[in-house]
Amino acid sequence: MNFMIRAAQKDDLPQIMQIYNTEIMTGTATWNSQPKSLQDYEQWFNDLQTNSFPLFVAVESVSQQIAGYAEFSTFRNFNVYHQTVEHAVYVDPQFARQGLGKALMLELIRHAKQQGIHVMVAAIDHENTGSIRLHEQLGFKQTGYMPQVGQKFGQWRDLVLMQLIFG
């Protein structure tokens, strides 16, 4: 399959919502436990645009289906962190293991460098070894490990913190 990565548009939000809400209900890549509404996504999209943060989608060329998405935004809500961002990448399970996560990450990294971002942070569930390996391949270093900081599906979850420092 062929994919194109482009900036997301408001019309993409229902498909983005479907990818994320599926992960909320079935996976541990996000620790959110409540599905999001389209109104939630519209507010999120507007907030990203207002703050000049990117939202990229990977689109399957033939069907035009959104196969995955990636974004980054504020790491912590203090102005001293204005050159540090935290990112998120989600791929629809039917398009997994086709290199989309890496392609989306590379687009985020390219954009972060252009925007003068100094540090990109990843917060990853400790059992998501595929994501941890991908981040390592892209130059991220583990900088923290936080045992039992979240709960999902009745289990305590450990959080791996990784970061990529630019220049």
> Which own/partner pairs from 95-101 qualify as long-range (CB within 8 Å, at least 24 positions apart)?
95/1, 95/3, 95/58, 95/60, 95/67, 95/68, 98/1, 98/3, 98/67, 100/3, 100/58, 100/67, 100/68, 101/68, 101/131, 101/134
Residue 59: which domain range? 3-165
In the prediction, which pLDDT does 1 show? 64
- Global pTM reads 0.93
CATH number at residue 157: 3.40.630.30
Q: Give per-residue pLDDT as tens, 91-136.
A: 999 998 889 999 999 999 999 999 999 999 999 999 999 999 999 9
| Number of domains making up the chain | 1
Q: Give per-residue pLDDT as tens, 32-52.
A: 889 999 999 999 999 999 999
